[in-house]
Amino acid sequence: MNSELSEEAVEINEDEDDDDEDEEEPKEREDDEGFSVLSDLPVEMSERRPTCRRCCRPLKVCLCPFLPARPLDVSTSLYIVQHPAEESRVLRTVPLLAACLPPGRCQVFVGRRFSEERYPELAAVCRDPRALLLYPGAAAESLEDLSTDFSSAHSIIIIDGTWSQAKDMFLRNALLRLPRQVQLRSAPSSQYVIRTQPTNMCVSTLECAAVALSIMEKNHSIQEALLKPLQALCRFQLQHGAQIHHSKEHLIKHGQYNKIMPQNKRKIRRMQKLISSHDTSATHDTHMTDT
C-alpha cells in the first residue's frame, strides 16, 4: 500500500514537473533570446592610456618638456623606501624625481618590511657610513649644519609614504635606524599645492630630495631643476579643475577645517599640536607621493 502510494505520488510529481517545464519553456526561450541579443552587442575594451616611459605620465600630459635636457650631474645616490600604497597614486612625485637623475642614481624599494635577507642591496647601503637617512626626529641632525665633506659619493635614504606610514616603516625596520639620521632645517613651503599636507612645513618627496641634493652637491640650480616638473604638474592640474589645497594646520587655524574633529585622545592631542605650535622637525613629507 505504501509502495503504491509512493509510486502514485512520484507519478503525480513527475506530471507536475512536466507541466512546470512546459510553462517554463517559453520563459527560457525569451531569456535565451535576450542573452543572444546581449551577446551580439559590441564589447568596449578598456584600454590603458599610453604612458611616457621617461616621466611615467600619460602621453597627453607628458612632463618631459619640463625635465632637464640631460640627467643632472650628481654624485649622490638616492634610495627611496616606498610604502606599497604609493604605487597606486596617480599624482606621484618619485617618477619625476627619478626622470631627472642619471640611471641608477634614484632607486626605489617598495614594501613595508625590509630585512637584510630579502633586501641585501638596501642593507649594504644602510650599513655604509656615508649613508644618511632623511627622517625628522629628536636624534636627527640638521643636514645644513653637517661638516661632512660630500665631495665623495654619498647616499641618502628617504621614506616615501604618508606620515603614519613613514613612522611605522621607520620604527619597524631596524635597517632604517642604522644610517646617520638627518633632517632639513631650511625646507621652503611646499609647492605641491594639489595635495593636502598636515602642516605648513611638510614637503613632498621630490621637494625633500631637491633640497637635500642641492645642499650635498653645493649646487642650488639642482633644486630649481627638480622643482620645474612639479610646478608644471600642479599648474596643469589647477588649469583642469583641481583646487589649491591648504595644509590641515592652516585650515584648523583659520576655522576652515570641515571634517569632524576626532574623539580619540591621541588624535585630539595631535590636532591641538597643529593648532598651538609648529613642530620644527616636521620637515618630512606626510604625503611623500603623489605619494
The reported pLDDT for the residue numbered 107 is 97
Query: What's the DSSP call for residue 151?
Result: T
The answer on pLDDT for 275 being more than 90 is: no
HEC readout, 8-52? HHHHHHHHHHHHHHHHHHHHHHHHHHHHHHHHHCCCCCCCCCCEC
Three cell numbers at 184? 632639513
Three cell numbers at 1? 500500500
Mean pLDDT of 112-140: 96
Mean pLDDT of 48-74: 90
The reported pLDDT for the residue numbered 255 is 72
Say if residues 152 and 75 touch (Cβ distance below 8 Å): yes
Q: How confident is the model at residue 190 (pLDDT cuts 50, 70, 90)?
A: confident
Read off φ and ψ for residue 159, nearest 5 degrees: -90, 125
Three-state DSSP at 180 gives strand
Residues 205-225: pLDDT tens digits? 999 999 999 999 999 999 999
Say if residues 276 and 268 touch (Cβ distance below 8 Å): no
Angle ∠(7,13,19) on CA atoms, nearest 5: 140
Interatomic CA distance for residues 285 and 291, integer angstroms: 9
Interatomic CA distance for residues 264 and 9, integer angstroms: 67
H or E stretch at 270: helix 265-276
Residues 220-250: pLDDT tens digits? 999 999 999 999 999 988 888 887 776 666 5
Pairwise pLDDT comparison (140 vs 195), residue with the higher score: 140
The mean predicted confidence, pLDDT, of the chain is: 78
Three cell numbers at 268? 585630539
Global pTM? 0.71
- Buried b vs exposed e over 142-175: b needs ≥16 C-beta within 10 Å? ebeeeeeebeeebbbbbbbbbbebbbbbbeebeb
Sign of CA dihedral 274, 277, 282, 285: positive
Q: How do strand 155-160 and strand 106-110 relate by DSSP bridges?
A: unpaired
The reported pLDDT for the residue numbered 221 is 96
